[in-house]
């Protein structure tokens, strides 16, 4: 190998300390890893989906009860109908994010096809 083929290794930055002298900082390796088979617990995702579906059913019932109050009543408020709809949209977006960004769900689907 010639000297042109090898690249010089980067040196860590140095800091001055009055009492000790020159102190070098060591470069730390990250202790996190990423693999293709898991990105969290499968049962945690299933529980989140079950909780999300229960929340959407409850919000649907709240939205239905909005139509039971007559519009001439003093208890009629438009936000009592809008709020459950917005909650359902938010819950659906969370569940969609959980399933679309989970590697375990993708691996499980691939294993089912084989």
Say which DSSP state 26 is in: P
| pTM of the predicted model as reported, rounded to 2 decimal places | 0.54
Residues 10, 23: Cα–Cα separation, whole Å: 16
Residues 98, 47: Cα–Cα separation, whole Å: 11
Which is more confidently placed, 114 or 98?
A: 98
Instruction: For residue 92, name the pLDDT band (cuts at 50, 70, 90).
Output: very high
54: helix, strand or coil: helix
pLDDT for the residue numbered 95: 87
Residues 38, 104: Cα–Cα separation, whole Å: 5
Residue 37 in this model has a pLDDT that exceeds 90 = no
Total residue length of the chain: 114
Q: What is the mean pLDDT of the chain?
A: 75
């Amino acid at each position: 190998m010639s000297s042109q083929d090898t690249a010089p290794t980067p040196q860590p930055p140095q800091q001055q300390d009055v009492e000790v002298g020159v102190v070098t900082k060591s470069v730390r390796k990250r202790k996190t890893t990423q693999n293709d088979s898991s990105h969290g617990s499968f049962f945690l995702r299933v529980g989140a989906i079950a909780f999300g579906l229960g929340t959407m059913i409850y919000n649907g019932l709240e939205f239905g009860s909005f139509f039971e109050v007559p519009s001439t009543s003093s208890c009629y408020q438009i936000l009592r109908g809008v709020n459950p709809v917005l909650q359902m949209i938010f819950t659906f977006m969370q569940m969609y994010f959980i399933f679309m960004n989970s590697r375990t769900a993708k691996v499980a689907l691939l294993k089912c096809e084989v």
